[in-house]
């Protein structure tokens, strides 16, 4: 699992194009303020260690959110961080578990639609910790 994490005073996205036939049709446009945006990339090895991946993913999200005193997290599938990809089912299951665990501890979580290309605008804060890459 690869995580590219940002603290964003503002993050906006809009669905652009559906790229996975098996996902349902949706059109959405949203803007979130004072949030941690996590671009994640699930890899084939993550399937066999899903519990560990979810735990570390959640810990990293909470750690960065804590640094910026926010309880808002955006999760966005971004399959450009590694040459190998997990199956869509694995990626969806990981993000579902991460979302549930964060919401169970009073985080507000937005997951961008899986299986879609999206337009997005992100205003990333200037502090060094506002931009973090993790490999878990």
* Confidence at 78, pLDDT banded by 50, 70, 90: confident
What is the domain range of residue 66? 2-135
Decide if 2 contacts 76 (C-beta within 8 A): no
pTM, to two decimals: 0.93
Kindly report the CATH number assigned to the domain that includes residue 16: 3.50.80.10
Chain segment 87-126, per-residue pLDDT in tens: 989 999 999 999 999 999 999 999 999 999 999 999 999 9
Angle (CA) 44 124 68, round 5°: 90
How many domains are there within the chain? 1
């Amino acid at each position: 699992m690869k995580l590219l994490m940002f603290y964003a005073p503002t993050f906006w996205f809009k669905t652009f194009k559906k790229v996975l036939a098996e996902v349902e049709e949706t059109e959405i446009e949203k803007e979130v303020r004072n949030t941690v945006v996590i671009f994640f990339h699930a890899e084939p090895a993550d399937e066999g260690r899903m519990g560990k991946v979810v735990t570390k993913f959640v810990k990293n999200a909470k750690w960065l959110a804590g640094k910026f005193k926010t309880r808002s997290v955006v999760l966005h599938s971004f399959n450009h961080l590694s040459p190998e990809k997990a199956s869509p089912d694995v990626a969806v299951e990981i993000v579902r578990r991460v979302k549930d665990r964060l919401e169970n501890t009073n985080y507000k979580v937005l997951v961008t639609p899986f299986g879609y290309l999206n337009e997005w605008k992100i205003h990333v804060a200037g502090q060094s910790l506002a931009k973090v890459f993790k490999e878990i």
